[in-house]
Structure 1
Amino acid sequence: MKILLLEDNKKLNETITKRLKLKGYNVLSFIDGKEAFEKITEGFSCFILDINVPNIDGIKILKKIREFYSSLPVIIISASVELDVIKEAYDFGCNDFLKKPFFIDELEIKIEKLCKIQNEKIYFDENSYFDFKSALIVINDVEIRLTKKEKLLINLFLTKKNQVISYESIENYVWEGNFASLESIRSLVRRLRKIFNNEYIQTIVDTGYIFKCS
């Protein structure tokens, strides 16, 4: 899982980054709000934002994130205890708020709760599943290796099972902020469809796709 961390206290930033990487997360950390702001569309699964940071504050970044992603988890960390600040963070769509100082374990618990898919294996049916740990699709005991973009797309589908996913969301997540033509997206979806025996991926005309899975 790819996490964006924005924390301008260098020591705290380094401590959080180190702990999360030890847990196996892919962490991109920033101390400057403007730098983080420019990277928010690059395929992150979770955001951890301090509010009072240089150039662009965490609340403005939160608002921008919600323009692209309506439901990706955002955890706000801040030394502020002002109710107006906390309320503003929730009003703009943060999922949880952690007041400094805090134990890193507290942050890890929130990430586990909000951001991480708990099951390492997600079954499509009794004979096929996706293994998040190895990033393999297994169908009738046959292991199928995926390209990077195929892995990102199946990850997106499985975190948003039975929900409509727009072309724009796929472009932002799978192409990590780079441009992708509609034909490129369709071509990637066709490749995944060939892997499955059943029609899990359904097209929503002029909108995107939905991954139908129990």
Structure 2
Amino acid sequence: MRILVVEDDAVLAEGTCESLSKAGYAVDLAETGTQANSLLDAGNYDMVLLDIGLPGMDGFEVLRRLRKHNTSIPVLIISARDDVDFRIYGLDLGADDFMLKPFVLAELHARTRALLRRHVLSERNALSCGALVVDLAAQRASVNGEPIELSIREWDVLVYLLRNLGKVVRKEAIIETLCDWKTDLSVNAIEVYISRLRSKLDSHGINIRTVRGFGYLLDEPSA
């Protein structure tokens, strides 16, 4: 799961990002509303932790722009303002939850897990392509009912391709989805994972095509 933390307080941002990273999330940080807006336009995130009092573009404007293009990504507002009308305004704009500063990290983790859990349950429980079926809840993949063994990275790449079925995806986009800024994952590594997936799927008529100069394409097999 990849999370964008939008926070201009350097100490709070560092502590929050470090805590979430240790919990196993890929975490990116935006310190301004403009930077957050650019990252959301360019990246694929599973959740946003959003401060409101940001320099320049405030958090409400970030949220407003996000909801014009993405109606499902969970947004947790984190603010020092303990004002009912303020919270109502944020929720009406499309936020999913609200936390007051200062907060306890354990509660932040619990709310994060809850929002991500609800988001996953709201998605389709399974993704498919021909005889390939990926059960997101159980984290199992099978072809014609027979399970296939996948490493964690292979699973992540396959799920990303399935969620973009019929679309050409760039290697860089896969890396951005799987990693935060501090994780070293190369284009060569993506090529290795794609090669391994092909070795497990090609014989079943499921082809990951290379679109030269652009990236990869997983398409529905012809009947």
- Is TM-score (shorter-chain normalized) higher than 0.5? yes
Match of 1:164 in 2: none
1:115 match: 116
Equivalent residue runs for 1:60-139 within 5 Å: 60-116=61-117, 117=120, 129-130=134-135, 137-139=141-143
Unaligned 5+ segments in structure 2 are: 178-210
Q: Does 1:143 align with 2:149?
A: yes
Q: TM-score by structure 1 length?
A: 0.65
Q: How does 1:20-35 map to 2 (within 5 A)?
A: 20-35=20-35
List per-residue Cα deviations over 1:19-59 (Å, max 9, x = no partner).
11111101001222211111112111101100001111111
Distance in 1 separating the partners of 2:16 and 2:150: 34
Q: Is the 8 A contact 1:46 1:72 kept in 2?
A: yes
Taking the aligned partners of 1:114 and 1:4, their CA distance within structure 2 comes to 14
Letter in 2 for 1:94: A
The SS at the match of 1:39 is helix
CA–CA separation in structure 2 for the residues paired with 1:25 and 1:124: 22
Q: 1:154 maps to what in 2?
A: 162
Contact in 2 for aligned 1:48/1:75 (Cα 8 Å): yes
- In structure 1, C-alpha distance between the alignment counterparts of 2:28 and 2:137, rounded to whole Å: 20
Structure 1 pair 132/155, CA: closer, same or farther in 2 (3 Å)?
Answer: farther
Is 1:11 equivalent to 2:11 in the alignment? yes
Cα drift, residue 144 of structure 1: 5.6
Give the conservation status (yes or no) of the 8 Å contact 2:47–2:73.
yes
TM-score (normalised: structure 2): 0.62
Q: Percent identity?
A: 26
Instruction: Go from structure 1 to structure 2 and tell me whether the alpha carbon gap of 1:156 and 1:49 turns closer, same or farther (over 3 Å shift).
Output: farther
Report Cα offsets for 1:43-96 as digits up to 9, x if no partner: 111011000011111110000110111111000000001222211101100000
**1:29-44 equivalence runs, <5 A:** 29-41=29-41, 42-44=43-45
CA contact (8 A) 2:6 2:51 kept: yes
Uncovered stretches (5+) of structure 1, i.e. residues with no partner: 158-166, 178-183, 200-214
Larger radius of gyration: 2
Instruction: Give the structure 2 partner of residue 210 of structure 1.
Output: none
Paired with 1:109 and 1:151, the residues of 2 have a C-alpha distance of 25
Structure 1 segment 169-180 matched on structure 2, within 5 A: none
Matches of 1:156 and 1:99 in 2, distance apart? 36
Match of 1:188 in 2: 217
Cα distance in 2 for residues equivalent to 1:47 and 1:33: 12
Give me the CA root mean square deviation: 3.6
Question: Relative to 1, partners in 2 of residues 1:155 and 1:25: Cα closer, same or farther, differing over 3 Å?
Answer: farther
Partner amino acid, structure 2, of 1:21:
S
Name the CA distance, whole Å, in 2 between partners of 1:98 and 1:18.
Answer: 18
